[in-house]
Structure 1
Amino acid sequence: MAEAGASMRLDRFLWFARLAKTRTLAQALACDGRLRIDGRAVDRSAAPVRIGNILTFAVHDRVRVLRIETLPVRRGPAPEAQACYQELTANVSQPSAID
């Protein structure tokens, strides 16, 4: 469990939380300028994320909106990864990693 005020690199969070299949894809998502943290566009993979941040990004023809609940300490199994964030998007189907 991360302590209050702790932060993590955006690309590392995306990979650990299984929102991207590889760290390279996580870096590409973070650098393409279409991902937002709390409404601010991000253009670098080293941008810090903290508990409570809202991530907004498009993947597979839909927009995902997530709130970071905890910072993961490893890339663990899917249930552990999904506990790191809460999906805020309405009518969500099966979550998928970025190809």
Structure 2
Amino acid sequence: MVARDRQRIDKWLFFSRAVKSRSLAAKLVVAGRVRINRDKAAQASDMVKPGDVLTITLERRIFVWKVLNTGVRRGPAEEARTLYEDMSPPPAPKDGSVPDAIPALREAGSGRPTKKERRQTDRLFGEE
């Protein structure tokens, strides 16, 4: 017997537009990329209810969503946004550098040889 205020995690992820299909949602859960209240969701049939906090790992992003409501259908994006409250940390800077990082230093001439230096080395070993 299923309570009305609970829903399967794969259906909820599909209705909230976190993934494109319900089968992808099930694969995401089975792969261990979804946590419900800090516990890994073991299977797609695990239930979520309003008030649960989900941690979802998708590609290079981590989403932290608080479940506000269970879904009825996969509707437009505005309707899907009413199902959760986004508590995710801000995304990392796009330039990929760490703020306050010290730039890598190397001595001039170290590293790969230039074309001229490579030709000199080849001549030295008699490989022309």
TM-score normalised by L of structure 2? 0.65
Q: Which structure has the greater CA radius of gyration? A: 2
5+ residue gaps in structure 1?
93-99
- The equivalent residue for 1:40 is 39
Higher relative contact order (CA 8 A, sep 6+): 1
- The equivalent residue for 1:56 is 55
> In the aligned structure 2, how far is the partner of 1:71 from the partner of 1:33?
22
* CA-to-aligned-CA distance 1:14-52 (integer Å, 9 cap, x gap): 001111101110110111112100000112000000001
> In the aligned structure 2, how far is the partner of 1:57 from the partner of 1:11?
12
Report the alpha carbon displacement of residue 5 of structure 1 after superposing the two structures with TM. 6.9
1:81 lines up with 2:72 in the alignment: no
Report the alpha carbon displacement of residue 6 of structure 1 after superposing the two structures with TM. 1.3
On the 8 A contact 1:5/1:50 being kept in 2, the answer is no
- What is the letter of the counterpart of residue 57 of structure 1? I
Where 1:86 maps in the other structure, the secondary structure is: strand
- What is the letter of the counterpart of residue 88 of structure 2? T
- The equivalent residue for 1:95 is none
- The equivalent residue for 1:65 is 64
Where 2:23 maps in the other structure, the secondary structure is: helix
Q: Which runs of 4+ in 1 moved over 3 A?
A: none
Report the alpha carbon displacement of residue 86 of structure 1 after superposing the two structures with TM. 0.6
Report the alpha carbon displacement of residue 56 of structure 1 after superposing the two structures with TM. 0.3
Where 2:80 maps in the other structure, the secondary structure is: helix
- What is the letter of the counterpart of residue 65 of structure 1? V
TM-score normalised by L of structure 1? 0.84
> In the aligned structure 1, how far is the partner of 2:14 from the partner of 2:33?
17
Answer 1 or 2: which has greater strand percent: 1
User: Once superposed, what is the RMSD of the aligned Cα atoms?
Assistant: 1.8
